[in-house]
Amino acid sequence: MPLAAFFAQFASFPFNENQSSHKNFDRLVKVLKCDVKDPQGRIALAREGFKDALVHEFNARFGTDNSISNWQYLCGVLRVDPVPNSVKRCRKCVWDVHVNLVDLVDSQRTGKPVKLFASLEDLRAYTHHTRNTFPKETRAYQGGLLRAITRTYFRRPGHGPGSAKKKERKKKQKAARAAAGGD
């Protein structure tokens, strides 16, 4: 798998499959004795490789397309019950689940249940405290499923599926296309 392969390239580093991705990475930094002033930029290169590996690990575990089977699998992991029978319903259910994406990937790697949060505020506080942030800047590697859920965890209030703001924005976009002769 991508995370194990990333860590395997560092011969002196023992990857712990039962430990979180970020804890493994923090240990790697200590093993390499890297710091912010590293003239060779080893820490920056390792961090970029780690971010890419996280995205590839998500894709390997959950899929890259918006197929119903990928969405239903994700719903099952997030303990959505009953699992919906359409992509649209799955997306709506997943939108309301608050989970740290790094923990989601780690749960699949370690076999431990993923921690769900009662509110977006609880998720944000946890993510800030643990620094378990999922890379947003690696969009080139993200499949459609990851792109769809990444927004849900760092959204602003009123921007979810079915929100009044989203409906109003779509209405304005449609009107602008019609005025430009596009619709």
Q: Which pLDDT tens digits describe the chain residue by residue (183 residues)? A: 999 999 999 888 899 998 999 999 999 988 877 555 666 677 788 888 999 999 999 999 999 888 999 999 999 999 999 999 999 999 999 988 999 999 999 999 899 999 999 998 899 899 889 888 888 766 556 778 888 887 544 444 554 555 556 667 777 777 887 887 755
Alpha-carbon distance of 102 to 91, in angstroms, equals 19
* Phi then psi dihedrals of residue 60, to 5 deg: -70, -35
Compute φ and ψ for 99, nearest 5 degrees. -145, 145
Beta-bridge partners for 117:
98
Rounded Cα gap, residues 84 and 81, in angstroms: 8
| Sign of the CA dihedral running 154, 110, 55, 84 | negative
